Amino acid sequence: MNYAVEIKDLDLYFGNVKVLQQLNLDIYKGEFLVLLGSSGCGKSTLLNCIAGLLEVTDGQIFIGGNNVTWAQPSERGIGMVFQSYALYPQMTVEGNLSFGLRNARMPRDEISKRVSRAAGILQIEPLLKRKPAALSGGQRQRVAIGRALVRDVDVFLFDEPLSNLDAKLRADLRVEIKKLHEQLDNTMIYVTHDQIEAMTLADRIAIMKEGKIMQLASPNEIYNRPRNLYVADFIGSPSMNFLHGEIKDGNFLLDGITIPLKGYEFAADSSQGGKAILGLRPEHILTGDNLASATVRTTVTVELVEPMGSDTLIYSTLAGTFIHVRMDGQARVSPGDKVEIGFQPERASLFDPETEDRL
């Protein structure tokens, strides 16, 4: 059996609100899968279905090859970590870690072995006798992860575990979760709406919109070859520039500029003519020293400059569309300057304006 979790034709309705419809998702053993999407798209709902905290309307869920569609959460072989930590406030850290095990009548020495192992991995040994109220947010989330860890399960579910932490701590804990995954080598399903978390942690990302998976692929693939306009727009900050034009004889015609599409890999069955949208990431519009490798160039007027330290964003208008371009952080530009920009069609994305799919 190659899959840790298989979801087949899953439907979930709240009354007549159809939150998930005909959702299929297979997750490999040992994979780190991130569910990414805007608020309200059904990420938590999907995770709760996998955990067994919501009764599915239709479809099946397999974990480790067993059909667990109707099994209790505790019998599914999963551990779960919540955004709000959800620690039991009246119990010490040790109590939090061991309560589930004691309830399952596990022998004492086995419990203490598991608790001290989890505490060792997460470096919370000095905190074992404290109550959650006496811990910082980061420490609480470690304890919450520990509570999943002692269950000794194959599948970990995380529902936005870092959203309540400040930026610095979030980055630290992100690295730790990644290390934890490498160390334990179990399957992790991780919900977030933070792109950076998704890109850095995931083996594969599933981008969701309105209860459907828009694209399921590696971070690299999603970033460089988004399958449709929604994914292209959702991933990347600042977001991709979209230029409306026309494809004719292997060229993209944009208001007087002709961009040859030599080097662009068209999708297998796409039409190579007619109206199209050219998607260019801000860093894929070349400036300055990099211009040499550009096949097509043009000049635009700088309207707004945002220096960000490591790089500088400039805002301008090209063919009637507002665009942003990422420049080197050392570039000296000010509004009103003329800047020469160049395109690399092989790194661009083309979309059909009707179906919004990648061409």
Partner 1 sequence: MKRPNQLFRNLSAKIAAIPMIVTGLFVFVGGTVWTVVYSFTKSGLLPRLKWVGLDQYERLWSTKRWLVSIENLAIYGISMLVLVFVIGFILATLIDQKVRFENAFRTIILYPFALSFVVTGLVWQWILNPEFGIQSIVRDLGWKSFTFDPLYTPEIAIYGVLIAGLWQGSGLVMVLMLAGLRGIDQDIWKAARVDGIPAWKTYLFIVIPMMRPVFITTLVLVVSGIVKLYDLIVAQTGGGPGIATEVPAKYVYDMMFAASNLGQGFAASTMMLVTVALIVIPWAMLEFGGKKNG
187 contacts Mg ion (rule: CB under 5 A):
no
Pick 44 or 186: Cβ nearer Mg ion:
44
What number of other Cβ atoms are within 10 A of residue 316's Cβ?
Answer: 22
What number of other Cβ atoms are within 10 A of residue 304's Cβ?
Answer: 11
Q: For ligand ATP, which residue of 6, 7, 43, 154 counts as binding (CB under 6 A)?
A: 43
45 contacts Mg ion (rule: CB under 5 A):
no
195 contacts ligand ATP (rule: CB under 6 A):
no
Q: How far is the CB of 138 from Mg ion (least distance, A)?
A: 20
244 contacts ligand ATP (rule: CB under 6 A):
no
For residue 24, the surrounding DSSP H or E stretch is strand 17-28
Pick 14 or 88: Cβ nearer ligand ATP:
14
Q: For Mg ion, which residue of 44, 192, 241, 287 counts as binding (CB under 5 A)?
A: 44
293 contacts ligand ATP (rule: CB under 6 A):
no
CA neighbor of 7 nearest in space, from 77, 73, 58: 58
Q: For ligand ATP, which residue of 2, 16, 17, 308 counts as binding (CB under 6 A)?
A: 17
Pick 35 or 80: Cβ nearer partner 1:
80
Pick 49 or 276: Cβ nearer ligand ATP:
49
Alpha carbon 24 to its chain's center: 18
Residues with Cβ within 8 Å of 40's Cβ and at least 6 positions away in sequence, in order, are none
Distance CA 330, CA 89 (A): 51
Distance CA 25, CA 33 (A): 10
Q: How far is the CB of 15 from partner 1 (least distance, A)?
A: 12
Q: How far is the CB of 244 from ligand ATP (least distance, A)?
A: 30
Q: Using CB under 5 A, which of the segments 16-24, 37-45, 64-72, 278-286 binds Mg ion?
A: 37-45
**Residues making contact with partner 1 (CB under 8 A):** 48, 51-53, 72-75, 78-80, 82-90, 99-100, 103-104, 144, 147-148, 151
The DSSP-derived string for 35-100 is EEESTTSSHHHHHHHHHTSS--SEEEEEETTEE-TTS-GGGTTEEEE-TT----TTS-HHHHHHHH
16 contacts ligand ATP (rule: CB under 6 A):
no
Q: For ligand ATP, which residue of 2, 16, 39, 72 counts as binding (CB under 6 A)?
A: 39
Q: How far is the CB of 252 from ligand ATP (least distance, A)?
A: 35
Number of H helices, E strands in the chain: 8, 20
Size of the chain in residues: 359
228 contacts ligand ATP (rule: CB under 6 A):
no
195 contacts Mg ion (rule: CB under 5 A):
no
- CA pseudo-torsion sign 192, 195, 201, 203: positive
Token match 């060229």: residue? 251
Q: How far is the CB of 73 from partner 1 (least distance, A)?
A: 5
